[in-house]
Amino acid sequence: MEHPILSNRFGIPIYLGFWFSFTGMLFIIDWYFQNALYQDATLSALSISLPLLIIAPSIWFVVRHVDVERIGRLAAALHHIAVAIIMVAIWLSLTYLIFSFFDKTPIPKGAKPEVIMPYYWLAFMAFAVYDYIVMMYYMIIYYRNFKEKIEQESDLKDLVKEAELNALKSQINPHFLFNSLNSVSSLTLIRPEQSREMLVKLSTFLRYSLDQDLKELNTLANEMKNSRLYLEIEKVRFGDRLILDFETDPICDDLRLPNLILQPIYENAIKHGVHESLEPVSIQTKAFVRNKNLMIQISNNFDKDAISPKGKGIGLKNIQERLNLIYGRTDLIAITRMESNFCVNLEFPQTS
């Protein structure tokens, strides 16, 4: 996260404005309320405020390092107390050093120069200023996180709309429907029972896909049920050229993942694997648990000599963007392509 003062074009002018106000306030306290001379009040105000000019921006790096959500409030408070003691000690040391360097008034042995107020009140003020700066920085972080979350939700809505359109387009894909209905027509004459079964699967698949909300999570059992319908319809088309292999741990059935997120991978396997190969193509699906997260691996072999139809990779890119927006991570999908095997590994974090 960028520094709010140093990385913003208005940050430095605004910060200097606050710093001049703070210096002016110290000057007025000493000159007006304590009847100090003009020169002495100026020296006292600058002795206190000059160290702050550097200390205040540096506190940002401490705040960024102390992640309250990760280490807890108590640990964060202890961190800041320790850092505050060090910062205040540095601040006061620099203040007395600057003041003593310019103020030539004799000081009784064993006494400390008084800069506006007794040193213990000065330390108390320094602690208060440190707390105020820390609070301001956390408010900035909270505002930025909130703004980022709003932008992510907006992006997710746009992406969901795009995915819904793509899903709808896929569901009513004329080629898919045409080929499926052609297969049904052929089966009607030779295997009427199988044609009826295929029509039921096609109807169920379309109804399920249209009813799903892409913003919601679903169980793996439901997601696989719909995916099997799609694959079994395609299997009628391709016959023995399409081999389906599922190896899912039953413990994964109730684990959750985004709706319809697997279908683009199966479509990709059909388009680039089965459709372009004369040899049998096996689509293997494995689901298991690792580190309490749902892991899914979908792989297929393909004819490496076949000319693959050109694609823009929108389906896989869409999956990566959805995972990033839903889980806030970019490492949940890994794609490997080796010789004649294409493999997609997915990880779905499970929340309690």
Residues 188 and 130 in one domain: no
Domain match, 307 and 223 both: yes
SS (H, E, C) 314-345: HHHHHHHHHHHHHHCCCCCEEEEEECCEEEEE
Q: What is the pLDDT of residue 173?
A: 56
Number of structural domains in the chain: 2
Contacts of 77 (CB under 8 A, 6+ apart): none
CB-based contact 253:261 (threshold 8 Å): no
Query: Residue 74: what pLDDT?
Result: 86
pLDDT number for residue 275 = 76
pTM of the predicted model, to two decimals? 0.53
Residues 87 and 229 both lie in one domain = no
Whether 139 and 182 map to the same domain: the answer is no
Of 165, 195, 224, the one marking the end of a domain is 165
pLDDT at 217: 86
Boundary residue ending a domain (135, 165, 195): 165
Range of the domain at 294: 174-349
Q: pLDDT tens digits for 54-109? A: 888 888 888 888 878 778 888 888 888 898 899 889 988 888 888 888 876 666 66
The three-point CA angle 137-143-144 to 5° equals 90
Could you state, in chain order, the average pLDDT of each consecutive group of 10 residues for the chain (352 residues)?
A: 79 88 89 83 88 88 83 85 89 86 68 69 87 90 86 75 60 61 73 78 77 77 88 82 91 90 86 80 93 93 71 71 81 88 93 65
**Within this chain, do residues 212 and 272 fall inside the same structural domain, yes or no?**
yes
Smallest CA-to-CA distance from 65 within 53, 75, 55 is with: 75
Within this chain, do residues 194 and 236 fall inside the same structural domain, yes or no?
A: yes
Write the CB contacts of 238 (distance below 8 Å, at least 6 apart in sequence): 274
Q: 77 and 37 share a domain?
A: yes
Same domain, 228 and 152: no
Residue 29: the pLDDT is 86
The whole-number pLDDT of residue 212 equals 67
Give yes or no: residues 254 and 105 share one domain.
no
CATH number for position 258: 3.30.565.10
Residues 106 and 221 in one domain: no
Are the C-beta atoms of residues 79 and 66 closer than 8 Å to each other? yes
Give the residue from 165, 196, 218 where a domain finishes. 165
| Whether residue 295 sits in one domain with residue 199 | yes
pLDDT tens sequence across 134-174: 899 889 888 888 888 888 777 777 776 666 656 555 544 55
Residues 158 and 184 in one domain: no
